[in-house]
Amino acid sequence: MSDFDIAPDPHAAGLTTSLRGVDASGQPIDLPVVTEKPLTIYLNRQEIVTAMTLGDRPQQMAVGFLYNQNMLQHGDKITAVDYDEELSIVIVRTAHETNYEAKLQKKIRTSGCAQGTVFGDIMDRFGKVKLNPDMRISTRQFMHLSKAINTAPSLYLTAGAIHGCVLCTADKPLIYVEDIGRHNAVDKIAGYMFMDNIPPEDKLFYTTGRLTSEMVIKTVLMGISVLVSRSGFTEAGVRLARQAGLTLIGRAKGSRFVALSGQQRIIFDANEVDRQAAHAAETPSAQRASQQDNYR
């Protein structure tokens, strides 16, 4: 299992602030607290949304947001992605104007953190996606991926109050990003895929967030056929996953998981020795973080 192509840097400037408080015994404590910054996204000349974000990877988040809202499609040519750090603005410029005004009228709010939104007409696109029926993930591969992700340095482990998302193949975690909202982290992954022409057919998506309808919709729209989470499910998320033929795996901790959709993509090849080794490999911080997911 090799290193990530892109991974979090929990020590990067501007992502956390050290704040003084007291612990349960009244003793002074300095705690790293993640930042929360506004980011305004434009598509050509039109202001689309202002989202509260961690503040890193703004270009990828903007492109991924527009793609996941059906305002960008794979046939669209992006001519520039301009970021003004002082104004916290990203402008995504395309070769041709897009028909987004009607989409703005269909905006609905979802159950995502902060101001997660999805546009009603994306369900038309959702119903047309054909996921790869030949994608497979074995339980041994799954345990190796889980170990690599859970033990990687991250803001999730050091500061909390944040979600992580990882784009993987069955053999290797590729891109690991974080944000204060799970939908923001998903959009960053989508942005990388769109801008770098990363094919989805052999990919797996791993998240620390709940498996809600929003998470399922965005994963399917990216063309990824396996979605995994440390956390649990919602009924709507499972229903949509079954409708799309998405493999949906939740409560994934160490060697344990539950699959409620698309079980045919899973190869059950791990034995008891493998499962015990996977559980023993979990670091105390990773175990605590996994327990916290139950309350997200």
Please give the residue range of the domain that contains residue 273. 137-293
**Do 113 and 148 reside in the same domain of the chain?**
no
* Residue 246 vs residues 131, 238, 266: alpha-carbon distances, Å: 7, 9, 12
Residue 280 banded pLDDT, cuts 50, 70, 90: low
Residue 135 tokens, joined: 């994608």
Return the SS3 of 247. strand
Cα separation of 270 and 276, whole Å? Answer: 10
Q: What confidence tens digit (pLDDT) does each residue in 242-279 have?
A: 999 999 999 998 889 999 999 999 999 987 656 666 66
How crowded is residue 205: how many other Cβ atoms within 10 Å of its Cβ?
A: 23
Mean pLDDT, residues 35-45: 94
* 29 inside domain: no
Q: What confidence tens digit (pLDDT) does each residue in 170-203 have?
A: 999 999 999 998 899 999 999 999 999 999 999 9
**Do 149 and 212 reside in the same domain of the chain?**
yes
Q: How many domains does the chain have?
A: 2
Cα separation of 246 and 95, whole Å? Answer: 33
**Do 141 and 121 reside in the same domain of the chain?**
no
CATH code for the domain of 84: 3.10.20.10
Query: Can you count the helices (H) and strands (E) in the chain?
Result: 10, 16
Asked whether the beta carbons of 148 and 239 are under 8 A apart, the reply is: no
Q: Provide the β-strand partners of residue 19.
A: 31
Which own/partner contact pairs does 228-237 have at CB distance under 8 Å and 24+ positions apart? 228/142, 228/204, 228/252, 228/257, 229/293, 230/289, 230/290, 230/293, 231/207, 231/293, 231/294, 231/296, 232/294, 233/260, 234/111, 234/210, 236/212, 237/210, 237/211, 237/212, 237/213
Q: Look up tokens 């975690």; give the residue.
A: 173
Mean pLDDT, residues 227-234: 96
How crowded is residue 111: how many other Cβ atoms within 10 Å of its Cβ?
A: 13
> Directed axis angle between helix 235-244 and helix 213-221, to 10°?
20
**Do 241 and 107 reside in the same domain of the chain?**
no
Among residues 97, 125, 153, the one where a domain terminates is: 125
**Do 255 and 169 reside in the same domain of the chain?**
yes
* 169 inside domain: yes
Among residues 102, 125, 148, the one where a domain terminates is: 125
H or E segment and range at residue 82: strand 78-84
**Do 78 and 143 reside in the same domain of the chain?**
no
Asked whether the beta carbons of 205 and 230 are under 8 A apart, the reply is: no
Cα separation of 162 and 260, whole Å? Answer: 25
pLDDT at 282: 63
* 18 inside domain: no
Mean pLDDT, residues 21-48: 94
* Residue 2 vs residues 9, 197, 224, 272, 279: alpha-carbon distances, Å: 17, 22, 22, 25, 20
